[in-house]
Amino acid sequence: MANRAASYVLAAVCLLVLAATVAEARHPRLVPAVFVFGDSTVDVGNNNDLNISVGARANYPKYGVDFPGSVPTGRFSNGLNTADLLARALGFKRSPPAYLSLTKKTVTPQMYKGINFASGGSGFADDTGRFLFGEVIPMSKQLEYFSGVVKHMTKLSGAKKTSSFLCRSIFLISAGSNDMFEYSASPGPSDDYKFLSGLVAAYKQSITALYEMGARKFSVISVPPLGCLPSQRLRRLKQMGTQGCFDPLNDLSLRSYPMLAAMLQDLARDLPGMAYSLADAFTMVSFVFENPRTDAWSFTELEAACCGGGPFGAAYACNETASLCADRDGHLFWDADHPTQAVSLVAAQTIFAGNRTFVNPINVRELALL
């Protein structure tokens, strides 16, 4: 217990320093490019023009109220998301643009800076999100898009230069939550170990595919405590009549981390030149829950969404008619399922330069400098 307490004290100091030193000023890029894969936690607009339901869109007010110009961009946030803020820490202005926003003319120069392939509502399984939302982009399709980019790059620059470029770039992956949501909500008998094993196997398959296309440096964000989202607090209230986090989903989130960590460790041993940084999102979010007020931040609302309506701000969607909280930086959650820009800032800086309490075996800054 003493060692654990000491570790958390050091973690607190680390987070305070990181949050206090985040600067708007640009600095030299640490990597040539950032490529982003995953779901709504890192989507920057790929879903805008897809045939999907409103639940998988974020290109309307009040989304983007704190984004430069106060315009909705397809980010599931009041402002920037984790992909944006991690890219900024690496020396970029923000996340690279959404792949589907690029044209044949603009994709060529952009691919040498990075591209974002993430899609809100998607998962590792091809059918994840399809029934609920429609035409989301599963991980397999995101990898297919990237494969096309690599072929185009190889044609223009040659295999050797393309390989050198990709092996120095960062590949950010934040996915798995939607697969977990749908598994948790499915009726009938369940086998948690079988599901989690399949999820980790899909993660392994995706990373291996990226490796075979030239990727070497992976920043992986694990699944956070999903049961504490406003939508899942409402779920517990409806199903059990009590308040609190939805524990079965949190148990799944918690159990997934050591399995993902073990898989990455084994994969790095088997794939020459592979390096990775794994962010423990469950521990990161739990730490903020336990320490909502520090010298660097003050989160005064830990349960309810800033934009929405009804219990926990989760009963009604964050749309044009939804009520909006006055202190967005004081809320952990922006809408029923996503963090505020303030939380994403803490997360990104921890992923970038945090200690081993939160990121293993190295942080993204150390990964970039390899």
Question: Which of the residues are catalytic?
Answer: 40, 335, 338
Q: Are 78 and 326 in contact (CB under 8 A)?
A: no
Name beta bridge partners: 218: 171, 276
Q: How far apart are the first and last CA of the chain?
A: 34
Q: Are 122 and 140 in contact (CB under 8 A)?
A: no
Q: Which of 338, 225, 218, 340 is nearest to 280 (CA)?
A: 225
Question: Residue 237 is encoded by which pair of tokens?
Answer: 């209230």
**Which region, left, alpha or beta, applies to residue 193 given φ > 0 means left and ψ of -120 to 50 means alpha?**
alpha
Other CB atoms within 10 A of residue 146 CB? 22
Residue keyed to tokens 């990597």: 31
Give the number of C-alpha atoms closer than 13 A to the C-alpha of residue 265, restricted to the C-beta side.
Answer: 8
Amino acid of residue 335: D
Amino acid of residue 173: I
The rounded distance, in Å, linking the Cα atoms of 136 and 131 is 10
The rounded distance, in Å, linking the Cα atoms of 271 and 247 is 36
Query: Which helix (DSSP H) or strand (DSSP E) does residue 161 occupy?
Result: helix 159-168
The rounded distance, in Å, linking the Cα atoms of 330 and 43 is 23
Give the number of C-alpha atoms closer than 13 A to the C-alpha of residue 327, restricted to the C-beta side.
Answer: 10
Buried b (16+ CB within 10 A) or exposed e, 263-286: bbeebbeeeeebbbbbbbbbbbbb
Packed helices 341-353 and 281-290: angle between N→C axes, nearest 10 degrees: 120
